[in-house]
Amino acid sequence: MYKNIPLAEKLRPKTLDEVLGQEHLTGNNGTIRKMLENDTLNSLILWGPPGTGKTTLAEIISSTSGRKFFKLSAVSSGVKEVREVIEDAKKQNLFTGKSPILFIDEIHRFNKSQQDSLLHAVEKGWIVLIGATTENPSFEVVSALLSRSQVYVLKSLSFEKLEELAEIALSRYNEEEQTHFTLKEKEALIQYSGGDARKLINSIELVLNQFKNVKEKEITNEDVLSVLQETMALYDKNGEQHYDIISAFIKSMRGSDPNGAVYWLARMIAGGEDVKFIARRMLILAAEDIGLANPNALTVANNCFQAVNVIGNPESRIILSETAVYLACSPKSNSTYKAIDAALAVVKQTGNLPVPLHLRNAPTKLMKDLDYGKEYQYAHSYEGNFVNQEFLPDEISGTQFYVPGENATERKIREELQKKWKGKYS
């Protein structure tokens, strides 16, 4: 009767104690455990990679707190479904007095107006919203929802936790199928899973099914690889390929090849990739690889990001294509990216160096008496709105973090800096 239920589903933890690798949330002092013990349930966002227990936790929260559970996926539902659930939830409130949980999987895929449709019901307390997202909620969740929710971060499962889970999955399989498999090696399975518990259990089920007729076998890395490679194309829609293709896309733009960029963009669009994910990557590339060689690139990429958020598919492809080609054809510089990393390295090395007195804020008389702000020279009082003074702590005076790149815009910047600083910074 239960034959068709995937092993990962059968193994879905039913209690906080069974959840692996999220002790900061589910352990004795874990925030979600405390929240349930104190019965102080508010709306929350679970942020973490796929297969780390977001849906599972939402279901446990619902059953432990005795609330009805509604689930929607932001990929396949919209405002209409949200409204229907909210109407249902309001009726539930009348019966039980406890507002139900509305779990929205992949909430980052909702655009602004879709997210806004949840707001009123959250404010009124008709529902407790639990949103799951694999993307940084500060970019993807509207601020009104974010400010009404607690964000909890889930981690990829560690090697040890995945080993533990592999054994659990193995014994459940053996029990149900009356087999006697053992896992001689687990590295291939674990590496392939990339910290995703669902992927690990699915792979184990897939591999063991291949040897079902022999009933007894020590499974090696080689067995795993041979089965997974054969089935990978069918099975791994969002796995390795996804990362390889986005990597090829970024590298094409960095390498100034608009044709490569458009080709890999097409591969992602044809594969159903989230357009916001693509736009976000371009936003990073604009700053990391183009930077001051063409500062307009960041503006274009940001406009693209805003635009795909309101446009969605299928038209977003046009906006993405314009941006990808623009970025690929822009001159390149990573000088500001290198500058901040160089400065961070110095901060790590030298710690909290004191702020030079003349640069300090001096809001009180006492501070003024202590010479805070004394001898600070106001740049606009000087010719050319510039005066040569020290802005770094003494210990690192003269350190050059920003080295202008070799491109038209930054050559001008370099000239200007040399004129002003007279050799202090090259």
Interface residues with ligand ADP (CB under 6 A) are: 8-9, 11-13, 19-22, 50-56, 132, 165, 197-198, 201
Report the distance separating Cα 399 and Cα 342, nearest Å: 10
Contact 309, 274 (CB under 8 A): no
For residues 149 and 335, which CB has a smaller minimum distance to ligand ADP in the complex? 149
Q: Which two tokens stand for residue 36?
A: 């349930």
For residues 11 and 308, which CB has a smaller minimum distance to ligand ADP in the complex? 11
* Nearest distance in Å: CB 194, ligand ADP: 13
Q: Which two tokens stand for residue 63?
A: 């059953």
For residues 9 and 230, which CB has a smaller minimum distance to ligand ADP in the complex? 9
Q: What angle do CA 356, 357, 359 make, to 5 degrees?
A: 70
For residues 86 and 154, which CB has a smaller minimum distance to ligand ADP in the complex? 154
* Nearest distance in Å: CB 104, ligand ADP: 11
CA distances in angstroms from 160 to 37, 109, 130, 190, 371, listed in the order given: 28, 32, 29, 10, 56
Number of helices followed by number of strands (H, E) in the chain: 20, 7
Query: What's CA 408's distance to the chain center, in Å?
Result: 35
Contact 206, 188 (CB under 8 A): no
For residues 130 and 250, which CB has a smaller minimum distance to ligand ADP in the complex? 130
For residues 132 and 327, which CB has a smaller minimum distance to ligand ADP in the complex? 132
Contact 276, 308 (CB under 8 A): yes
Residues 197, 200, 206, 210: is their CA dihedral positive or negative? Answer: negative
* Nearest distance in Å: CB 75, ligand ADP: 13
Contact 268, 281 (CB under 8 A): no
Strand spans (E) along 29-133: 44-47, 69-73, 101-105, 128-133
For residues 18 and 185, which CB has a smaller minimum distance to ligand ADP in the complex? 18
* Nearest distance in Å: CB 39, ligand ADP: 23
* Nearest distance in Å: CB 334, ligand ADP: 34
Report the distance separating Cα 391 and Cα 402, nearest Å: 14
Q: At which residue do the structure tokens 């899973």 appear?
A: 193
- Centre a 10 Å sphere on the Cβ of residue 119 and count the other Cβ atoms it contains: 14
* Nearest distance in Å: CB 183, ligand ADP: 17
Q: How many residues does the chain have?
A: 426
Largest alpha-carbon pair distance within the chain? Answer: 87
* Nearest distance in Å: CB 85, ligand ADP: 19
Query: What's CA 425's distance to the chain center, in Å?
Result: 37
* Nearest distance in Å: CB 404, ligand ADP: 45
For residues 25 and 283, which CB has a smaller minimum distance to ligand ADP in the complex? 25
For residues 48 and 405, which CB has a smaller minimum distance to ligand ADP in the complex? 48
* Nearest distance in Å: CB 198, ligand ADP: 4
Of 245, 268, 276, 240, the residue nearest 74 (C-alpha): 276
* Nearest distance in Å: CB 49, ligand ADP: 7
For residues 62 and 333, which CB has a smaller minimum distance to ligand ADP in the complex? 62
